[in-house]
Structure 1
Amino acid sequence: MSNKKQLVTIKGTKEGLSIFIDEACSFEEAMADLQEKINAIRPKEYEPIVSVHVKLGNRYLLESQEKELREILNHKSRFYIESINSNVILKEDALKWKENSEIKAVRKIVRSGQVLEITGDLLLIGDVNPGGKVVSTGNVYILGNLYGIAHAGAAGDRKAIIAASYMKPTQLRIADYISRAPDYESDGVYMECGLIDEEQDKIVIDRIQVLSRNRREISGFERRILNG
Protein backbone atom coordinates (compact mmCIF):
# COMPACT_ATOMS: atom_id res chain seq x y z
CA MET A 1 0.00 0.00 0.00
CA SER A 2 1.34 3.41 -0.93
CA ASN A 3 1.96 5.89 1.87
CA LYS A 4 2.43 8.78 -0.53
CA LYS A 5 1.03 11.98 0.93
CA GLN A 6 -1.95 13.47 -0.84
CA LEU A 7 -0.79 16.91 -1.96
CA VAL A 8 -4.04 17.63 -3.80
CA THR A 9 -7.48 16.45 -2.67
CA ILE A 10 -10.47 16.70 -5.00
CA LYS A 11 -14.04 16.50 -3.69
CA GLY A 12 -17.28 16.67 -5.64
CA THR A 13 -19.97 19.13 -4.51
CA LYS A 14 -23.29 20.39 -5.85
CA GLU A 15 -21.44 23.43 -7.23
CA GLY A 16 -18.81 21.34 -9.02
CA LEU A 17 -15.42 20.37 -7.60
CA SER A 18 -13.52 21.62 -4.57
CA ILE A 19 -9.75 21.23 -4.89
CA PHE A 20 -7.71 21.39 -1.69
CA ILE A 21 -4.00 22.03 -2.20
CA ASP A 22 -1.60 21.11 0.61
CA GLU A 23 -0.07 24.31 2.02
CA ALA A 24 3.19 22.72 3.22
CA CYS A 25 4.53 21.22 -0.01
CA SER A 26 6.30 23.14 -2.75
CA PHE A 27 4.17 24.74 -5.45
CA GLU A 28 5.89 22.64 -8.12
CA GLU A 29 5.05 19.39 -6.30
CA ALA A 30 1.43 20.47 -5.86
CA MET A 31 1.00 21.38 -9.52
CA ALA A 32 2.53 18.08 -10.65
CA ASP A 33 0.11 16.16 -8.45
CA LEU A 34 -2.80 18.33 -9.61
CA GLN A 35 -1.97 17.78 -13.28
CA GLU A 36 -1.83 14.02 -12.71
CA LYS A 37 -5.21 13.97 -10.99
CA ILE A 38 -6.85 16.26 -13.56
CA ASN A 39 -5.66 14.02 -16.39
CA ALA A 40 -7.31 11.07 -14.64
CA ILE A 41 -10.74 12.70 -14.16
CA ARG A 42 -10.92 15.07 -17.14
CA PRO A 43 -14.48 15.15 -18.61
CA LYS A 44 -15.07 14.02 -22.19
CA GLU A 45 -15.51 16.65 -24.89
CA TYR A 46 -19.27 16.02 -25.02
CA GLU A 47 -19.62 16.52 -21.25
CA PRO A 48 -20.23 19.96 -19.69
CA ILE A 49 -17.35 22.05 -18.36
CA VAL A 50 -16.92 21.52 -14.61
CA SER A 51 -16.77 24.45 -12.16
CA VAL A 52 -13.90 24.38 -9.70
CA HIS A 53 -13.30 26.09 -6.34
CA VAL A 54 -9.64 26.02 -5.30
CA LYS A 55 -8.79 26.07 -1.57
CA LEU A 56 -5.19 27.06 -0.80
CA GLY A 57 -5.25 27.22 3.01
CA ASN A 58 -2.24 29.22 4.29
CA ARG A 59 -0.61 29.47 0.87
CA TYR A 60 -0.20 32.67 -1.14
CA LEU A 61 0.06 32.48 -4.92
CA LEU A 62 2.25 34.79 -6.93
CA GLU A 63 0.76 36.09 -10.16
CA SER A 64 2.89 33.67 -12.20
CA GLN A 65 1.80 30.75 -10.01
CA GLU A 66 -1.87 31.63 -10.36
CA LYS A 67 -1.40 31.76 -14.13
CA GLU A 68 0.10 28.27 -14.08
CA LEU A 69 -2.79 27.00 -11.97
CA ARG A 70 -5.30 28.47 -14.39
CA GLU A 71 -3.50 26.88 -17.34
CA ILE A 72 -4.04 23.47 -15.77
CA LEU A 73 -7.69 24.17 -14.95
CA ASN A 74 -8.94 25.82 -18.14
CA HIS A 75 -11.67 25.33 -20.74
CA LYS A 76 -9.35 23.16 -22.83
CA SER A 77 -9.12 20.70 -19.96
CA ARG A 78 -12.92 20.99 -19.46
CA PHE A 79 -12.62 22.83 -16.15
CA TYR A 80 -13.43 26.41 -15.12
CA ILE A 81 -12.12 28.10 -11.95
CA GLU A 82 -14.98 29.82 -10.10
CA SER A 83 -12.89 30.91 -7.11
CA ILE A 84 -9.43 30.71 -5.57
CA ASN A 85 -9.51 31.05 -1.79
CA SER A 86 -6.51 31.65 0.45
CA ASN A 87 -6.18 32.54 4.14
CA VAL A 88 -3.14 34.68 3.29
CA ILE A 89 -2.88 38.12 1.71
CA LEU A 90 0.01 40.54 1.23
CA LYS A 91 0.72 43.02 4.00
CA GLU A 92 0.03 45.94 1.63
CA ASP A 93 -3.35 44.42 0.71
CA ALA A 94 -4.16 43.92 4.41
CA LEU A 95 -3.29 47.55 5.17
CA LYS A 96 -5.42 48.71 2.24
CA TRP A 97 -8.33 46.56 3.43
CA LYS A 98 -7.96 47.96 6.94
CA GLU A 99 -7.97 51.53 5.62
CA ASN A 100 -11.04 50.89 3.46
CA SER A 101 -13.00 49.25 6.30
CA GLU A 102 -11.92 51.53 9.14
CA ILE A 103 -14.37 53.99 10.67
CA LYS A 104 -12.96 57.52 10.67
CA ALA A 105 -14.54 59.71 13.36
CA VAL A 106 -14.46 63.45 12.62
CA ARG A 107 -15.80 66.22 14.86
CA LYS A 108 -16.53 69.34 12.88
CA ILE A 109 -19.11 71.34 10.99
CA VAL A 110 -18.74 71.03 7.23
CA ARG A 111 -19.57 74.54 6.06
CA SER A 112 -20.57 75.85 2.64
CA GLY A 113 -17.79 75.34 0.11
CA GLN A 114 -15.98 72.75 2.23
CA VAL A 115 -15.49 69.11 1.15
CA LEU A 116 -14.61 66.35 3.62
CA GLU A 117 -13.27 63.21 1.90
CA ILE A 118 -12.61 59.95 3.75
CA THR A 119 -11.35 56.49 2.81
CA GLY A 120 -13.46 53.93 4.70
CA ASP A 121 -16.57 54.65 6.75
CA LEU A 122 -17.18 58.22 7.93
CA LEU A 123 -18.64 59.02 11.34
CA LEU A 124 -19.22 62.77 11.36
CA ILE A 125 -20.07 64.28 14.73
CA GLY A 126 -21.43 67.57 13.52
CA ASP A 127 -23.52 69.11 10.74
CA VAL A 128 -23.17 69.32 6.99
CA ASN A 129 -24.40 72.80 6.13
CA PRO A 130 -26.00 73.76 2.78
CA GLY A 131 -23.18 73.96 0.23
CA GLY A 132 -21.01 71.56 2.26
CA LYS A 133 -20.13 68.07 1.05
CA VAL A 134 -18.93 64.81 2.61
CA VAL A 135 -17.51 61.95 0.53
CA SER A 136 -16.64 58.45 1.71
CA THR A 137 -15.63 55.21 0.00
CA GLY A 138 -17.72 53.40 2.64
CA ASN A 139 -20.79 54.31 4.68
CA VAL A 140 -21.61 57.81 5.93
CA TYR A 141 -22.99 58.30 9.45
CA ILE A 142 -23.82 61.83 10.54
CA LEU A 143 -24.58 62.53 14.19
CA GLY A 144 -26.03 65.89 13.31
CA ASN A 145 -27.94 67.65 10.56
CA LEU A 146 -27.41 66.82 6.89
CA TYR A 147 -28.34 69.85 4.78
CA GLY A 148 -25.65 69.64 2.12
CA ILE A 149 -24.37 66.80 -0.09
CA ALA A 150 -23.40 63.32 1.08
CA HIS A 151 -21.71 60.76 -1.16
CA ALA A 152 -21.23 57.20 0.17
CA GLY A 153 -19.61 54.29 -1.67
CA ALA A 154 -17.63 56.75 -3.76
CA ALA A 155 -15.40 53.96 -5.12
CA GLY A 156 -18.44 52.11 -6.47
CA ASP A 157 -19.88 50.31 -3.40
CA ARG A 158 -23.64 50.16 -4.04
CA LYS A 159 -24.23 48.53 -0.64
CA ALA A 160 -23.06 51.68 1.16
CA ILE A 161 -25.60 53.70 3.15
CA ILE A 162 -26.04 57.26 4.40
CA ALA A 163 -27.56 57.82 7.84
CA ALA A 164 -28.18 61.08 9.67
CA SER A 165 -29.80 62.31 12.85
CA TYR A 166 -31.71 64.83 10.74
CA MET A 167 -31.82 64.46 7.00
CA LYS A 168 -32.74 67.25 4.63
CA PRO A 169 -29.92 67.05 2.06
CA THR A 170 -29.37 69.01 -1.10
CA GLN A 171 -28.26 65.76 -2.72
CA LEU A 172 -27.50 62.16 -1.83
CA ARG A 173 -25.10 60.01 -3.83
CA ILE A 174 -24.37 56.31 -3.39
CA ALA A 175 -21.82 54.88 -5.85
CA ASP A 176 -23.12 56.10 -9.24
CA TYR A 177 -26.70 56.76 -8.05
CA ILE A 178 -27.84 60.33 -7.43
CA SER A 179 -30.95 61.53 -5.60
CA ARG A 180 -31.88 65.17 -5.29
CA ALA A 181 -33.87 67.29 -2.84
CA PRO A 182 -37.35 66.71 -4.37
CA ASP A 183 -37.06 63.03 -3.37
CA TYR A 184 -37.31 63.94 0.31
CA GLU A 185 -40.03 65.32 2.55
CA SER A 186 -39.95 69.11 2.55
CA ASP A 187 -39.64 69.26 6.33
CA GLY A 188 -36.79 66.75 6.50
CA VAL A 189 -36.71 63.48 8.42
CA TYR A 190 -35.20 62.31 11.73
CA MET A 191 -33.02 59.20 12.21
CA GLU A 192 -33.40 58.03 8.62
CA CYS A 193 -31.04 56.46 6.12
CA GLY A 194 -30.56 56.53 2.39
CA LEU A 195 -29.73 53.34 0.52
CA ILE A 196 -30.08 51.92 -2.98
CA ASP A 197 -33.27 49.95 -3.60
CA GLU A 198 -32.33 47.65 -6.48
CA GLU A 199 -35.96 46.86 -7.35
CA GLN A 200 -36.82 50.56 -7.73
CA ASP A 201 -33.32 51.24 -9.16
CA LYS A 202 -32.89 54.41 -7.12
CA ILE A 203 -31.89 55.78 -3.73
CA VAL A 204 -34.70 55.56 -1.18
CA ILE A 205 -35.10 57.06 2.30
CA ASP A 206 -36.24 54.73 5.05
CA ARG A 207 -36.18 54.24 8.80
CA ILE A 208 -32.69 53.52 10.11
CA GLN A 209 -33.97 50.23 11.59
CA VAL A 210 -34.32 48.68 8.10
CA LEU A 211 -30.53 48.36 7.90
CA SER A 212 -30.59 45.26 10.11
CA ARG A 213 -32.82 43.63 7.50
CA ASN A 214 -31.55 45.08 4.22
CA ARG A 215 -27.85 45.26 5.06
CA ARG A 216 -27.14 42.09 7.05
CA GLU A 217 -23.39 42.52 6.58
CA ILE A 218 -23.29 45.63 8.79
CA SER A 219 -20.64 45.65 11.49
CA GLY A 220 -21.02 45.49 15.24
CA PHE A 221 -20.40 49.23 15.39
CA GLU A 222 -23.43 49.85 13.18
CA ARG A 223 -25.57 47.50 15.27
CA ARG A 224 -24.69 49.56 18.35
CA ILE A 225 -25.92 52.67 16.54
CA LEU A 226 -29.18 50.94 15.60
CA ASN A 227 -29.82 49.29 18.95
CA GLY A 228 -28.45 52.00 21.21
Structure 2
Amino acid sequence: MGKVLRPGVTIKGTKDGLLFLLDESRPFSAILSELKYKLENASNLWDGPDTRVWIKLGNRQITREEEKEMRELFSARKNLIIHSIEAANGKPYLVDNRGIQMLAGTVRSGQVLEHRGDLLLLGDVNPGGNVRSTGSIFVLGALRGLAHAGGEGDESAIIAASSLHPTQLRIAEVVSRPPDEWDESETSGMNFAYLVNGQIAVDKMHQISRIRPDIHEWKDHRFKA
Protein backbone atom coordinates (compact mmCIF):
# COMPACT_ATOMS: atom_id res chain seq x y z
CA MET A 1 0.00 0.00 0.00
CA GLY A 2 1.39 3.42 -1.01
CA LYS A 3 2.32 6.07 1.47
CA VAL A 4 -0.48 8.56 2.17
CA LEU A 5 0.74 12.10 1.66
CA ARG A 6 -0.41 14.43 4.40
CA PRO A 7 -2.25 17.60 3.34
CA GLY A 8 -0.13 20.59 2.44
CA VAL A 9 -2.91 22.89 3.64
CA THR A 10 -4.62 22.15 6.95
CA ILE A 11 -7.65 24.23 7.95
CA LYS A 12 -8.78 24.52 11.57
CA GLY A 13 -11.71 26.39 12.99
CA THR A 14 -11.26 28.59 16.06
CA LYS A 15 -13.65 30.76 18.05
CA ASP A 16 -12.24 33.79 16.21
CA GLY A 17 -12.18 32.43 12.66
CA LEU A 18 -10.15 30.01 10.54
CA LEU A 19 -6.52 28.94 10.84
CA PHE A 20 -4.71 27.91 7.64
CA LEU A 21 -1.57 25.87 8.38
CA LEU A 22 0.75 25.59 5.36
CA ASP A 23 3.27 22.73 5.24
CA GLU A 24 6.74 24.29 5.17
CA SER A 25 8.33 21.17 3.61
CA ARG A 26 6.37 21.41 0.33
CA PRO A 27 7.26 23.68 -2.61
CA PHE A 28 5.14 26.81 -2.30
CA SER A 29 3.80 26.30 -5.83
CA ALA A 30 2.30 22.98 -4.64
CA ILE A 31 0.82 24.72 -1.59
CA LEU A 32 -0.84 27.33 -3.82
CA SER A 33 -2.29 24.62 -6.08
CA GLU A 34 -3.78 22.77 -3.10
CA LEU A 35 -5.08 26.01 -1.61
CA LYS A 36 -6.73 26.92 -4.93
CA TYR A 37 -8.43 23.52 -5.07
CA LYS A 38 -9.75 23.79 -1.53
CA LEU A 39 -11.05 27.33 -1.98
CA GLU A 40 -12.75 26.54 -5.29
CA ASN A 41 -14.41 23.35 -4.04
CA ALA A 42 -16.71 22.59 -1.11
CA SER A 43 -18.36 25.95 -1.81
CA ASN A 44 -21.00 25.43 0.90
CA LEU A 45 -18.16 25.36 3.45
CA TRP A 46 -17.22 28.91 2.57
CA ASP A 47 -20.75 30.33 2.43
CA GLY A 48 -21.64 32.41 5.42
CA PRO A 49 -20.74 35.61 7.27
CA ASP A 50 -17.41 37.38 7.12
CA THR A 51 -14.70 35.19 8.66
CA ARG A 52 -11.23 36.22 9.75
CA VAL A 53 -8.32 34.08 8.52
CA TRP A 54 -4.91 33.51 10.10
CA ILE A 55 -2.25 32.01 7.79
CA LYS A 56 0.68 30.17 9.40
CA LEU A 57 3.71 29.57 7.15
CA GLY A 58 5.85 27.61 9.61
CA ASN A 59 9.57 28.26 9.01
CA ARG A 60 8.92 29.33 5.43
CA GLN A 61 9.27 32.90 4.19
CA ILE A 62 7.60 34.04 0.98
CA THR A 63 8.17 36.78 -1.57
CA ARG A 64 5.79 39.67 -2.23
CA GLU A 65 4.85 38.00 -5.52
CA GLU A 66 3.97 34.76 -3.71
CA GLU A 67 1.97 36.72 -1.14
CA LYS A 68 0.07 38.43 -3.95
CA GLU A 69 -0.75 35.07 -5.57
CA MET A 70 -2.01 33.72 -2.25
CA ARG A 71 -4.15 36.78 -1.53
CA GLU A 72 -5.68 36.56 -5.01
CA LEU A 73 -6.79 32.99 -4.27
CA PHE A 74 -8.52 34.12 -1.08
CA SER A 75 -10.14 37.06 -2.88
CA ALA A 76 -12.37 34.56 -4.71
CA ARG A 77 -14.13 34.05 -1.34
CA LYS A 78 -15.32 37.53 -0.38
CA ASN A 79 -16.26 36.48 3.16
CA LEU A 80 -12.75 35.19 3.96
CA ILE A 81 -10.77 38.14 5.30
CA ILE A 82 -7.04 37.65 5.88
CA HIS A 83 -6.26 38.96 9.35
CA SER A 84 -2.57 37.99 9.47
CA ILE A 85 0.19 36.02 7.75
CA GLU A 86 2.85 34.70 10.13
CA ALA A 87 6.13 32.80 10.00
CA ALA A 88 7.41 30.78 12.95
CA ASN A 89 9.49 32.18 15.81
CA GLY A 90 8.38 35.75 15.18
CA LYS A 91 10.51 36.25 12.07
CA PRO A 92 9.12 38.32 9.16
CA TYR A 93 7.03 36.28 6.75
CA LEU A 94 8.39 38.20 3.74
CA VAL A 95 11.83 37.45 2.31
CA ASP A 96 14.32 40.29 2.57
CA ASN A 97 16.01 40.26 -0.84
CA ARG A 98 18.83 42.57 0.25
CA GLY A 99 22.16 40.83 0.65
CA ILE A 100 22.52 37.40 2.20
CA GLN A 101 19.71 35.96 4.29
CA MET A 102 20.92 33.99 7.31
CA LEU A 103 18.84 31.09 8.62
CA ALA A 104 19.61 28.53 11.31
CA GLY A 105 18.38 24.95 11.59
CA THR A 106 18.55 21.49 10.07
CA VAL A 107 16.92 20.60 6.77
CA ARG A 108 15.75 17.05 7.41
CA SER A 109 14.79 14.28 5.02
CA GLY A 110 11.63 15.22 3.13
CA GLN A 111 11.94 18.94 3.87
CA VAL A 112 12.38 21.59 1.18
CA LEU A 113 13.89 24.97 2.06
CA GLU A 114 13.23 27.55 -0.67
CA HIS A 115 14.80 31.00 -0.76
CA ARG A 116 15.12 34.01 -3.04
CA GLY A 117 18.58 35.56 -3.14
CA ASP A 118 21.75 34.33 -1.46
CA LEU A 119 21.30 32.00 1.51
CA LEU A 120 23.58 31.36 4.48
CA LEU A 121 22.36 28.29 6.38
CA LEU A 122 23.76 27.67 9.86
CA GLY A 123 23.10 23.95 10.12
CA ASP A 124 23.08 20.69 8.20
CA VAL A 125 21.20 19.47 5.15
CA ASN A 126 20.50 15.80 5.81
CA PRO A 127 20.18 13.11 3.12
CA GLY A 128 16.74 13.53 1.56
CA GLY A 129 16.72 17.25 2.46
CA ASN A 130 16.46 19.83 -0.31
CA VAL A 131 17.67 23.45 -0.42
CA ARG A 132 16.74 25.67 -3.36
CA SER A 133 17.76 29.26 -3.93
CA THR A 134 17.73 31.75 -6.78
CA GLY A 135 21.18 32.90 -5.62
CA SER A 136 24.15 31.18 -4.01
CA ILE A 137 23.95 28.73 -1.10
CA PHE A 138 26.42 28.70 1.80
CA VAL A 139 26.05 25.92 4.37
CA LEU A 140 27.99 26.23 7.63
CA GLY A 141 27.50 22.56 8.33
CA ALA A 142 27.25 19.31 6.41
CA LEU A 143 25.55 19.29 3.02
CA ARG A 144 24.47 15.68 2.50
CA GLY A 145 21.21 16.27 0.64
CA LEU A 146 20.30 18.10 -2.55
CA ALA A 147 21.15 21.75 -3.22
CA HIS A 148 20.00 23.83 -6.20
CA ALA A 149 21.52 27.31 -6.56
CA GLY A 150 20.80 29.83 -9.30
CA GLY A 151 17.28 28.46 -9.58
CA GLU A 152 16.19 31.16 -12.04
CA GLY A 153 19.14 30.66 -14.36
CA ASP A 154 21.99 32.43 -12.51
CA GLU A 155 25.06 30.53 -13.72
CA SER A 156 27.38 32.58 -11.50
CA ALA A 157 25.80 31.14 -8.33
CA ILE A 158 27.88 28.85 -6.15
CA ILE A 159 27.21 26.18 -3.51
CA ALA A 160 29.58 26.07 -0.54
CA ALA A 161 29.60 23.90 2.57
CA SER A 162 31.82 23.09 5.53
CA SER A 163 31.36 19.43 4.63
CA LEU A 164 30.32 18.88 1.01
CA HIS A 165 28.90 15.37 0.57
CA PRO A 166 25.72 15.98 -1.47
CA THR A 167 23.39 13.49 -3.06
CA GLN A 168 23.07 15.99 -5.90
CA LEU A 169 24.15 19.53 -6.77
CA ARG A 170 22.47 21.72 -9.32
CA ILE A 171 23.45 25.20 -10.50
CA ALA A 172 21.04 26.91 -12.90
CA GLU A 173 20.09 24.04 -15.22
CA VAL A 174 23.29 21.99 -14.83
CA VAL A 175 23.21 18.88 -12.61
CA SER A 176 26.29 17.37 -10.98
CA ARG A 177 27.47 13.85 -11.64
CA PRO A 178 26.16 11.04 -9.37
CA PRO A 179 27.52 11.05 -5.78
CA ASP A 180 29.24 7.69 -6.20
CA GLU A 181 31.51 9.34 -8.78
CA TRP A 182 32.74 12.04 -6.40
CA ASP A 183 36.42 11.96 -5.52
CA GLU A 184 36.78 11.97 -1.71
CA SER A 185 39.59 14.53 -2.02
CA GLU A 186 37.14 16.93 -3.68
CA THR A 187 34.80 16.99 -0.71
CA SER A 188 37.14 17.00 2.29
CA GLY A 189 37.20 20.26 4.24
CA MET A 190 35.29 23.37 3.21
CA ASN A 191 34.64 23.46 -0.53
CA PHE A 192 32.45 25.17 -3.05
CA ALA A 193 30.90 24.11 -6.33
CA TYR A 194 30.61 26.38 -9.36
CA LEU A 195 29.92 26.24 -13.08
CA VAL A 196 32.75 26.18 -15.60
CA ASN A 197 32.40 25.28 -19.29
CA GLY A 198 28.87 24.01 -18.70
CA GLN A 199 29.89 21.58 -15.94
CA ILE A 200 29.91 21.70 -12.15
CA ALA A 201 33.41 21.79 -10.64
CA VAL A 202 34.48 21.70 -7.00
CA ASP A 203 37.37 23.57 -5.41
CA LYS A 204 38.75 24.52 -2.01
CA MET A 205 37.18 27.54 -0.35
CA HIS A 206 40.42 29.55 -0.36
CA GLN A 207 40.28 29.54 -4.17
CA ILE A 208 36.92 31.30 -4.31
CA SER A 209 38.30 34.82 -4.88
CA ARG A 210 40.39 33.54 -7.78
CA ILE A 211 37.54 31.72 -9.47
CA ARG A 212 34.86 34.29 -8.58
CA PRO A 213 36.81 37.59 -8.38
CA ASP A 214 33.58 39.53 -7.89
CA ILE A 215 33.01 37.78 -4.57
CA HIS A 216 34.68 40.62 -2.65
CA GLU A 217 31.63 42.80 -3.34
CA TRP A 218 29.57 40.61 -1.00
CA LYS A 219 31.48 41.78 2.07
CA ASP A 220 29.32 44.91 2.24
CA HIS A 221 26.02 43.05 2.12
CA ARG A 222 23.90 43.03 5.23
CA PHE A 223 23.34 39.79 7.11
CA LYS A 224 19.82 39.59 8.46
CA ALA A 225 18.68 36.94 10.93
Residue 137 (structure 1) aligned to one of 128, 134, 138: 134
- Supply the distance in 2 between the matched residues of 1:101 and 1:158 (Cα, whole angstroms): 19
Structure 1 residue runs without a partner (length 5+): 1-91, 93-97
- Contact kept? 1:106, 1:125, Cα under 8 Å: yes
Root mean square deviation, CA, Å: 2.4
Q: Deviations over 1:76-132 (max 9, x none)?
A: xxxxxxxxxxxxxxxx9xxxxx95452111100000000000100010000000000
Aligned partner of 1:203 in structure 2 is: 200
Residue 155 (structure 1) aligned to one of 152, 156, 163: 152
Could you say what secondary structure the match of 1:218 adopts?
helix
- Supply the distance in 1 between the matched residues of 2:163 and 2:127 (Cα, whole angstroms): 13
Q: Deviations over 1:111-157 (max 9, x none)?
A: 00000001000100000000001011111000000000011111100
- Highest relative contact order (Cα 8 Å, sep 6+), 1 or 2? 2
Label 1:182 to 1:197 Cα distance change in 2 as closer, same or farther (>3 A). farther
Query: How far is the alpha carbon of 1:185 from its aligned partner?
Result: 2.5
Aligned partner of 2:24 in structure 1 is: none
- Contact kept? 2:209, 2:216, Cα under 8 Å: no
Higher alpha-carbon Rg: 1
- Supply the distance in 2 between the matched residues of 1:120 and 1:219 (Cα, whole angstroms): 17
Aligned partner of 1:67 in structure 2 is: none
- Contact kept? 1:177, 1:203, Cα under 8 Å: yes
Counterpart residue type for residue 205 of structure 1: V
TM-score w.r.t. the length of structure 1 is 0.51
Structure 2 residue runs without a partner (length 5+): 1-63, 65-94
Aligned partner of 1:18 in structure 2 is: none
Q: Deviations over 1:186-220 (max 9, x none)?
A: 4842101000112xx31011111221011111145
- Contact kept? 2:143, 2:161, Cα under 8 Å: yes
- Contact kept? 1:106, 1:124, Cα under 8 Å: yes
Aligned partner of 1:184 in structure 2 is: 182
Query: How far is the alpha carbon of 1:222 from its aligned partner?
Result: 5.6
Aligned partner of 1:194 in structure 2 is: 193
Label 1:223 to 1:211 Cα distance change in 2 as closer, same or farther (>3 A). farther
Could you say what secondary structure the match of 1:138 adopts?
coil
* Identical residues among aligned pairs (%): 45
- Supply the distance in 2 between the matched residues of 1:171 and 1:222 (Cα, whole angstroms): 28
- Contact kept? 1:107, 1:125, Cα under 8 Å: yes
Query: How far is the alpha carbon of 1:182 from its aligned partner?
Result: 3.1
**Number of matched residues?**
126
- Contact kept? 1:148, 1:169, Cα under 8 Å: yes
Aligned partner of 2:162 in structure 1 is: 165
- Contact kept? 2:121, 2:139, Cα under 8 Å: yes
TM-score w.r.t. the length of structure 2 is 0.51
